[in-house]
């Protein structure tokens, strides 16, 4: 096998399909190794295409069994067929019907793209280009068709048969052990939204009446015996349907909405029309097996996939360069839903932490790309944090610029004008421009420019004139191009609270920075102010301003914006970590006078507010991660120095705040009570209880071990149990090994809990972790064919254990590279995702980056790489740092 040479696809080369497919009638006779697919396609020439062009259909590992055009078999010289494509040299120049019969092997399909089997359940994943693994087709998002699907299978093997749209005829096939079901979707859709499921499944169900009076049957299907763990997901579906009506005016449009959870899935979930297929980690939950984070993620992902019914399905993408149009918009929508379901401030902080950890590092490394890429070699490699998270921030900025009313009007116009169409970013922006009267052509630069902008701020206070002057300057890593349109939500804060000051250029607290630099003047400022910039994280930028710790802690005490209060504490902690890391200091018990002042400020904050808002307090106490610190340093990073610096500050806070932390744990434990509830308030109390225990254990490992063991034994829910185990996992000794062994035995039959167990061990920051991972790879529960398990062990190691992944001897890099090479033969898409953990290799100090470069170069020289992996390798090695 030779390495696949990726063909570069460019946005500028887009042209409409030469043919369209109006109707698709599919007949699938399911069998583990010999599934037969008959596709009857109603095709016509596209008036916008090239007249008389050949019909070129996509395929991937297909076996062609039969081919007819308008009921007649085609002669051999009329077509050319390979496993990867089917071409009709001279198709009719009028509407015609093409009947194609193919053979596929779902059981052998370890790529998990197209039709495959997961724990005996037939299921599909067709985005981005998996439908071509089922039948030959125009597998592109701008070809929209109406589908009718007949599914046939053995009654015992697959008693449940599900498809897109509404159910039709069903029955038993006479004199056989097989049955069938017909599904019809009246809404035209691209092939990537096709889905089917067949298997033995349990069902939980309810009904929902839409704002238009439609009675919808809502159901969640799971593996046998897991029905009770689907109740929360079912409730999340119903809440999502109601929210999309009240918040966005988007009613559901079919008679049924089905969710199916499977164990083997490359992605988190898939929004197939009327039949969402989920990785079961985003469906299954009960207090014994799921954490508060799991519950929140289930709620968010259920909402995300449901919201795609309008932002992605009813209005889809013209081409894959417009992926941000459906994903960025839908992430924004699910973020707003989660904010309404939970604490808006706490959720916003979580969103930004994710953005900075994943997207900022992506933007700073060799895999940086615009939110709308101009070219790609493998589209599966562009389902990235930039497209999703940064794409969502662009939508959020539009709302900030236009205001809620004009934003809603623009959204309504976008859906109305593009319903049933494949749209572009230009269509999206045009709807807002038309409703608001605002020219958004300059704002469109956010979609085209890679890298994270940096805004540098400087202020001068004139006490005599009672005037404050604030200067802002923006820059991009590339250093060229027109300035971006950046909404800056801001205010001024004084020693005792917010400062009211006049500045006509900041209406409603938002200034729009459109030039490379600009200056604002505030009059009537009675005291030296501290600027509170980018409130609510109003733009995805890095902010640089020479504020002292005392000024930042003033923001923590007195700012009215929760995000910037949290950011102030994070900024002080980050400076303390970076100062120690930069000096390459050893790990110590004391962190110095500045850390003392920081701890004192946190203590005062806890005294005043911790019991009133435990979730927010837990976030304020949580230090920036080692990855965030490395990204802030940007170059010549020594992961060991960063780790030592952060550990020193954690220990210092634990010792300084210990009395308060113990009192908080006691008070919150009494308030928590029973029974367990996953609501935001209860989750917030648990978060602070466990954050406090983590700091106590850092200050006093012996006391922390005793407390963690007690919590592990007494815990009534997985959140507290896993938090205790995570603390024990970081403390070497017999207690750790005993707890890990007991936990693994207790949950041996719970795959999703075992994923957590694998991940915890992979992130232990000790030299012996590589040997531990080698043992875990031989564990009976580890399987390279299960993406969740691979991500838990190997992905967690690469992303969550910087000291061991980036070991000076290169052994961590080698372990991950070996896994990628082995996995590439099984599931190239997951292998490529794992490989992206090397995205920050160039920012490491020279000895480590040299080791990483050597290993990546050796991998690139191998002759048998998939297109997915070859693409990531080429870009990782060719790219450079863009850290501004």
Specify if 508 maps to a domain. yes
Q: Is 293 among the domain residues?
A: no
Segment 536-545, tens digit of pLDDT = 999 999 999 9
Domain of residue 382: give its range: 316-447
Residue-wise pLDDT tens digits, 291-322: 999 999 999 999 999 999 999 999 999 999 99
DSSP state of 584: T
Burial class (CB in 10 A: 0-12, 13-18, 19+), 585: middle
CATH of the domain at 162: 2.60.40.1730
Q: pLDDT digit string (tens) for 126-183?
A: 999 999 999 999 999 999 999 999 999 999 999 999 999 999 999 999 999 999 999 9
Show the tokens assigned to 873. 């390798």
> What is the predicted pLDDT for the residue at 529?
98
Share of the chain above pLDDT 90, in %: 96
Asked if the bond preceding 398 is cis, omega within 30° of 0, the reply is no
Q: Which of 407, 401, 294 is nearest to 750 (CA)?
A: 294
852 and 760 co-located in one domain: yes
Q: What is the pLDDT of residues 203-252, one digit of tens each?
A: 999 999 999 999 999 999 999 999 999 999 999 999 999 999 999 999 99
Domain CATH for 481: 2.60.40.1840
Q: Does residue 437 lie within any of the structural domains?
A: yes
**Which tokens go with 346?**
């706490």
48 and 195 in a common domain: yes
Q: Show which residues are catalytic.
A: 305
The residues pairing with 125 across neighbouring beta strands, listed in sequence order, are 114
Q: At what angle do helices 718-729 and 734-746 cross, to 10 degrees?
A: 140
Measure the CA–CA gap between 295 and 291, rounded to whole angstroms. Answer: 6
Does residue 483 lie in a domain region? yes
pLDDT for the residue numbered 1: 46
Tens of pLDDT, residues 617-657: 999 999 999 999 999 999 999 999 999 999 999 999 999 99
CA 111 to chain centre: 20
Q: What is the mean pLDDT of the chain?
A: 97
Q: Does 114 share its domain with 25?
A: yes
Q: Any residues with CB less than 8 A from the CB of 145 and at least 6 apart, and which? A: 21, 22, 23, 24, 188, 189, 190, 191
Q: Which of 302, 437, 882 is nearest to 635 (CA)?
A: 882
What average pLDDT does range 339-355 have in this prediction? Answer: 98
Helix, strand, coil percentages in the chain from 3-state DSSP, rounded to 5: 45, 20, 30
Whether residues 157 and 79 fall in one domain: yes
Distance CA 503, CA 782 (A): 61
Give a yes or no: residue 368 inside a domain: yes
What stretches of 275-326 adopt beta strand conformation (E)?
275-279, 315-317
Q: How far apart are CA 522 and CA 488, in angstroms?
A: 15
463/408 same-domain check: no
Task: Provide the Cα torsion 533, 537, 541, 545; round to 10°.
Answer: 20
Closest listed residue to residue 399, CA positions, set 246, 248, 598: 248
Residue 274 has pLDDT above 50, yes or no: yes
What CATH number is given to the structural domain containing 389?
1.10.390.10
- In 3D space, the residue among 278, 303, 283 whose CA is nearest the CA of residue 294 turns out to be 283
Confidence of residue 3 (pLDDT cuts 50, 70, 90): low
Instruction: Choose the final residue of a domain: 403, 428, 447.
Output: 447
Reported residue count of the chain is: 884
128 upstream amide cis, omega within 30 of 0: yes
Same domain, 441 and 470: no
Same domain for 436 and 504?
no
Lowest mean pLDDT among 326-340, 581-595, 631-645: 581-595
> 447 pLDDT band (50/70/90 cuts)?
very high
**What are the pLDDT digits (tens) for 831-851?**
999 999 999 999 999 999 999
Rounded mean pLDDT, 4-24: 93
pLDDT computed for residue 478 by the predictor? 76
Q: How confident is the model at residue 6 (pLDDT cuts 50, 70, 90)?
A: low
Q: Map residue 147 onto helix, strand or coil.
A: strand
Domain boundary among the residues 447, 479, 503 is at: 447
Instruction: Confirm if 39 and 25 have CB atoms less than 8 A apart.
Output: yes
Close Cβ partners of 372 (under 8 Å, ≥ 6 residues apart)? 11, 321, 322, 323, 324, 425, 447, 448
Question: Domain check: are 411 and 478 in the same one?
Answer: no
Q: Please check whether residue 241 lies inside any domain of the structure.
A: no
Dist CA 226 CA 208 (whole Å) = 23
Cα 222 to its chain centre, rounded Å, is: 23
Same domain, 498 and 379: no
**Distances in whole angstroms, Cα of residue 861 to Cα of each of 326, 366, 851:** 37, 19, 16
CA distances from 611 to 28, 482, 670, 688, 719 (A): 58, 48, 12, 9, 19
Same domain? 504 vs 521 = yes
For residue 5, name the pLDDT band (cuts at 50, 70, 90). Answer: low
* Residue finishing a domain among 153, 174, 200: 200
> Cβ of 480: how many Cβ atoms within 10 Å?
6
Q: What is the largest CA-CA distance in the chain?
A: 98
How far, in Å, CA of 472 to CA of 453, rounded? 12
127 and 109 together in one domain: yes
Tell me the backbone φ, ψ of residue 659, rounded to 5 degrees: -60, -45
Among the listed residues 701, 779, 702, the one whose alpha carbon sits nearest the alpha carbon of residue 740: 779
The total number of structural domains that make up the chain: 4
- pLDDT tens figures, 283-296: 999 999 999 999 99
Helical H runs in 403-531?
A: 404-418, 425-436, 445-448
Distance of CA 770 to the CA centre of its chain: 27
Structure tokens at 245: 């009506």
470/520 Cα distance (integer angstroms): 5
Per-residue pLDDT at 883 exceeds 70: no
The answer to whether residues 188 and 63 touch, using CB atoms and an 8 Å cutoff, is: no
- What is the DSSP secondary structure assignment for residue 8, as one 8-state letter? P
Q: Are residues 179 and 51 in the same domain?
A: yes
In this prediction, residues 588-596 reach a mean pLDDT of 84
DSSP, collapsed to helix, strand or coil, labels residue 455 as strand
Q: CATH number of the domain at 828, please.
A: 1.25.50.10
CA 312 to chain centre: 16
pTM: 0.97
Percent of all residues in the chain with a pLDDT value above 70, rounded to a whole number: 98
DSSP secondary-structure letter at 585? Answer: P
Distance, CA of 259 to CA of 277 (rounded, Å): 6
Confidence (pLDDT) at 4: 62
Residue 85 pLDDT greater than 80, yes or no:
yes
DSSP letter for each residue of 599-659 = HHHHHHHHHHHTTT-HHHHHHHHSPPPHHHHHHHH-SSB-HHHHHHHHHHHHHHHHHHTHH
Name the burial class of residue 427, with classes exposed (0-12), middle (13-18) and buried (19+) by CB atoms within 10 angstroms of its CB: middle
809 belongs to a structural domain: yes
DSSP state of 794: I
Instruction: Kindly list the strands in the beta sheet with 467-475, ordered across the sheet, starting from the edge strand earlier in the chain.
Output: 517-523, 467-475, 454-462, 542-545
Which band of pLDDT confidence, cut at 50, 70 and 90, is reported for residue 375? Answer: very high
């Amino acid at each position: 096998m030779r390495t696949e040479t990726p063909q570069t696809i460019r946005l500028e080369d887009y042209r409409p399909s030469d043919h369209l497919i109006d109707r698709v009638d599919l007949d699938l006779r399911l069998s583990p190794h010999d599934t037969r697919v008959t596709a009857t396609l109603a095709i016509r020439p596209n008036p916008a295409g090239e007249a008389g062009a050949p019909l070129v259909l996509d395929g991937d590992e297909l076996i062609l069994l039969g081919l007819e055009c308008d009921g007649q078999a085609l002669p051999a010289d009329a077509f050319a067929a390979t496993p990867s494509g089917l071409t009709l040299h001279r198709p009719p120049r009028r509407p015609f019907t093409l009947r194609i019969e193919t053979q596929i092997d779902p059981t052998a399909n370890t790529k998990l793209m197209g039709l495959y089997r997961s724990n005996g359940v037939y299921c599909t994943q067709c985005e981005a280009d998996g439908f071509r693994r089922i039948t030959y087709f125009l597998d592109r998002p701008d070809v929209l068709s109406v589908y009718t699907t007949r599914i046939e299978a053995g009654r015992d093997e697959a008693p449940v048969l599900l498809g897109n749209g509404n159910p039709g005829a069903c029955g038993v096939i006479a004199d056989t052990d097989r049955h069938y079901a017909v599904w019809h979707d009246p809404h035209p859709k691209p092939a990537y939204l096709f889905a089917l499921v067949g298997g033995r499944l349990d069902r939980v169900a309810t009904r929902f009446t839409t704002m238009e009076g439609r009675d919808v049957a809502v159901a969640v299907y799971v593996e046998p015996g897991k029905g009770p763990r689907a109740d929360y997901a079912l409730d999340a579906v119903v809440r999502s349907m109601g929210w999309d009506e009240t918040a966005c005016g988007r009613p559901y449009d079919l008679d049924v909405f089905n969710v199916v959870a499977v164990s083997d899935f490359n992605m988190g979930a898939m929004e197939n029309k009327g039949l969402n297929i989920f990785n079961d980690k985003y469906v299954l939950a009960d207090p014994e097996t799921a954490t508060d984070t799991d519950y929140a993620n289930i709620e968010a992902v259920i909402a995300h996939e449901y919201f795609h019914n309008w932002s992605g399905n009813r209005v889809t993408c013209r081409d894959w360069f417009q992926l941000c149009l459906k994903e960025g918009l839908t992430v924004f929508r699910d973020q707003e839903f989660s904010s309404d379901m939970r604490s808006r401030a706490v959720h916003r902080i979580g969103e930004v932490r994710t953005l900075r950890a994943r997207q900022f590092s992506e933007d700073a490394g060799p895999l940086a790309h615009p939110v709308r890429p101009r070219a790609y070699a493998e589209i599966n490699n562009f389902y990235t944090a930039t497209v999703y998270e940064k794409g969502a921030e662009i939508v959020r900025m539009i709302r900030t610029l236009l205001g809620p009313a004009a934003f809603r009007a623009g959204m309504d116009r976008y859906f109305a004008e593009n319903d049933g169409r494949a749209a572009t970013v230009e269509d999206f922006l045009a709807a807002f421009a038309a409703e608001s009267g605002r020219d958004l052509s300059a704002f469109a630069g956010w979609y085209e420019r890679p890298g994270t902008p940096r805004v540098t701020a400087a202020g001068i206070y004139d006490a005599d004139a009672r005037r404050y002057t604030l200067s802002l300057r923006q820059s991009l890593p590339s250093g060229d191009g027109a300035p971006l349109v950046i909404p800056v939500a801001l205010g001024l804060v004084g020693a005792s609270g917010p400062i009211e000051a006049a500045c006509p250029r900041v209406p409603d607290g938002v200034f729009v920075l459109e030039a490379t630099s600009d200056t604002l003047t505030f009059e009537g400022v009675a005291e030296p102010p501290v600027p509170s910039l980018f409130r609510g994280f109003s733009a995805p930028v890095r902010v640089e301003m020479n504020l002292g710790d005392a000024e930042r802690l003033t923001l923590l005490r007195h700012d009215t914006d929760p995000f910037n209060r949290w950011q102030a504490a994070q900024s002080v902690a980050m400076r303390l970590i970076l100062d120690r890391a930069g000096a390459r200091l050893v790990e110590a018990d004391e962190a110095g006078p500045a850390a003392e002042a920081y701890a004192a400020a946190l203590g005062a904050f806890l005294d005043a507010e911790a019991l009133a808002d435990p979730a927010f307090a837990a976030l304020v106490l949580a230090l920036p991660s080692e990855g965030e610190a490395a990204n802030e340093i940007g170059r010549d990073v020594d992961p060991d120095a960063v780790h030592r610096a952060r550990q020193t500050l954690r220990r210092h806070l634990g010792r300084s705040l210990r009395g308060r932390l113990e009192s908080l744990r006691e008070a919150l434990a009494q308030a928590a009570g029973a029974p367990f509830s996953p609501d935001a308030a209860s989750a917030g109390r648990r978060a602070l209880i466990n954050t406090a225990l983590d700091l106590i254990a850092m200050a006093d490992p012996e006391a922390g071990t005793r407390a963690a063991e007690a919590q592990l034994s007494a815990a009534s829910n997985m959140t507290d149990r896993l938090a205790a185990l995570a603390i024990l996992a970081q403390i070497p000794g017999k207690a750790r090994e005993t707890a890990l062994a007991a936990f693994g035995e207790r949950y041996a039959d719970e795959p999703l809990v075992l994923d957590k167990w694998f991940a915890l061990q992979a992130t232990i920051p000790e030299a012996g972790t590589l040997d531990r991972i080698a043992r875990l790879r031989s564990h009976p529960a580890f399987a390279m064919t299960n993406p969740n398990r691979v991500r838990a062990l190997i992905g967690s190691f690469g992303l969550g254990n910087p000291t061991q992944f980036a070991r000076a001897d290169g052994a961590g890099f080698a372990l991950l590279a070996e896994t990628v090479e082995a996995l590439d033969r099984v599931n190239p898409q997951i292998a490529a995702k794992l490989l992206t953990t090397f995205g920050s290799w160039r920012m490491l100090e020279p000895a480590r980056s040299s080791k990483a470069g050597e290993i990546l170069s050796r991998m690139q020289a191998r002759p048998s790489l998939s297109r997915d992996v070859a693409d990531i390798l080429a870009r990782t090695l060719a790219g450079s740092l863009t850290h501004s």
